[in-house]
Structure 1
């Protein structure tokens, strides 16, 4: 293989990888403006911030418990782990092998909620995270250096978890209570770990609802949602 051919092949592979890692249904312009729909985060001299601090302190005491262990696992927001974290509540393993349509649905929408929906407010407010504010460690220190440079408000992980929960509850309404409970817990895990203030979590759930509403006007999402519903309906019927 010539050097030119080799360079072209490498370029194609890198382009293919970039597209695979950049899956989404919406553009940044199509997502709701998080700055417009959210109030600014609580000021550090406000009563609301005292509530944030109380939630942070309470979360620290849970880190050495089973709930704290779950919070550590929830910190991994990769495609496969989001599916894994919801599988028990969903009632089926969410993997490319067992539920391909459902897996494709939530893995494609992940950055619509986690990145696009939170981007504007994160950049505008650039709110310092609790662990950096108090100069304390988190439940998962290996991510601290990266997250310390990224705004805290609103929480991207929570936006991913809550929007995924809303959609999965629609795909499999039989288990909607368990699914929504799990999605709620994923947001609280960010407080337990010390990565986010409670107000970051609350704001992210508002943003998540806006994202899901917008997704329901997107033809590609609507089509994939229908495939996922059909897939799970068949599995539910087969399991009776």
Structure 2
């Protein structure tokens, strides 16, 4: 009887350990989706804190929320709806025009691999601790109003608003793509800024969520540059871009 009890405890402990391991998403558990481990990523909880709802900064948040609502039925609002899709394919397509080349798994496999792998280093690891700790209510929930993309509201209402994961992804990717193609850095960085702006237009995030996310984007890109696997893939992406540029010039 005692042996059976010991075995049961050991089995339970093993299952708990396995379940805990699955919950920790980083390069050690999802090697194709991350470059960094959870401990290597910048800690948003140590770097950030959201403004209170009685602060002067929140008045700006409210003003930007009202501005965002006014933009929803414009061409910019339609772009914000598209930007809300965080799938790998859409994230890469978001930057194709500003980058000057179509970014896809087929046409630019090395660039595609680089930015789709770093995507969750930015949007998840670099924002996870502050999101979980503060669990800040999102604007559409705070005001009990619809967003630009109602199909995402149920999912988003269950997780924290601060800082914005979409914005961290978008701005981090823009920083890296601007390094690969510096001649178009202004167009690329502007597009990265617009991804964050789109979150305000949709009503998913406060402006202060966006501002904090840009800090985390710069922080995670700095850390990625200290990672050997990232640097290897970045080198491949730069070589691929140089080939594309040479082929384009040869066709002229």
Counterpart of 2:222 in structure 1 is 213
Larger radius of gyration: 2
Structure 1 Cα separation of the partners of residues 182 and 238 of structure 2: 10
Q: CA deviation at 1:237?
A: 1.6
Of residues 157, 161, 178, the one that matches 1:169 is 178
Aligned pair partner of 2:153 in 132, 144, 154: 144
The reply to whether residue 32 of structure 1 matches residue 42 of structure 2 is: yes
Provide the C-alpha distance between the structure 2 equivalents of 1:238 and 1:54, rounded to a whole number of angstroms: 48
Indicate yes or no: 2:87 matched with 1:87. no
Aligned residues: 223
For 2:205 and 2:72, locate their aligned partners in 1 and report how far apart those are by CA, in whole Å.
14
Cα distance in 2 for partners of 1:74, 1:214 equals: 26
Mapped pair 1:102 → 2:111: yes
Which of 60, 65, 73 is matched with 2:69 structurally?
60
Q: Where does 1:38-49 land on structure 2 (aligned, <5 Å)?
A: 38=48, 40-49=49-58
Q: Distance in 2 between matches of 1:237 and 1:114?
A: 33
Check if 1:71 corresponds to 2:80. Answer: yes
CA distance in 2, matches of 1:89, 1:185: 12
Superposed displacement of residue 234, structure 1:
1.2
Q: Quick one: distance in 2 between partners of 1:221 and 1:122?
A: 25
Q: CA offset at residue 21 of structure 1?
A: 9.0
Question: 1: CA distance between counterparts of 2:113 and 2:224?
Answer: 14
User: Whole-Å Cα distance in 1 between the matches of residues 244 and 231 of structure 2?
Assistant: 20
Q: Which has the higher contact order (CA 8 A, sep 6+)?
A: 1
Equivalent residue, structure 2, for 1:178: 187
> Does 2:134 correspond to 1:125?
yes
1:146-201: CA deviation from partner (whole Å, max 9, x where unpaired): 10011000000000000000000011111111000000000000000000000000
Partner Cα distance (2:183, 2:137) in 1: 40
Partners of 2:34 and 2:61 lie apart in 1 by 32
Q: Secondary structure at the match of 2:159?
A: coil
Q: How much has 1:94 moved relative to structure 2?
A: 0.5
SS in 1 for 2:61: helix
- Please state whether the residue corresponding to 2:106 is helix, strand or coil: coil
**Structure 1: stretches of 5+ with no match in the other structure:** 1-14
